Structure 1
Amino acid sequence: MKSETRNVLLKAYAELHKNIEELYEAHDIAIENNDFDNASLVASRADRHYEEVENLEIIISELE
């Protein structure tokens, strides 16, 4: 894998991890405020990002 490709994939991986953390924090705040609709929404988005992170991890490891 070219270093440019690897760097872009690693950057995407790191950014998704950051987004996941922020979404789960928003989920926790929504739960504390009994805002279950929004908690469900942000948890769902976090879960989707997590799946993407897992896929990126596989791609990166296979291409190295």
Structure 2
Amino acid sequence: MKSETRNALLKAYSQLEQIVSDLYDAADAAVEMGDFEDASLLQTRADILYEQMENLDFVISELEE
């Protein structure tokens, strides 16, 4: 794999990691405020992006071998 490709994938992974963290934090805050509908939406979106992060991690690992 070219270093540019690897760097782009690692950057995307890092950015997703921050987004997922922000969404989980927002979901926690929504729960604390009693806004369970928004909390559920935020949690679901975070879960979906977390799954994409795991997939991206797998791709990066496979391409590095």
TM-score normalized by structure 2? Answer: 0.97
Q: Identity of paired residues, percent?
A: 58
CA distance in 1: counterparts of 2:11 and 2:49, whole angstroms: 14
TM-score normalized by structure 1? Answer: 0.98
1:55 is matched with which residue? 55
The size of the alignment, in residue pairs, is 64
Structure 1 residue ranges, 4+ long, deviating more than 3 angstroms after superposition: none
Gaps of 5+ in 1: none
CA deviations over 1:24-55 (Å, ceiling 9, x no partner): 00001000000000000000000001000000
2:23 is matched with which residue? 23
Gaps of 5+ in 2: none
1:8 is matched with which residue? 8
| Letter aligned with residue 51 of structure 1 | E
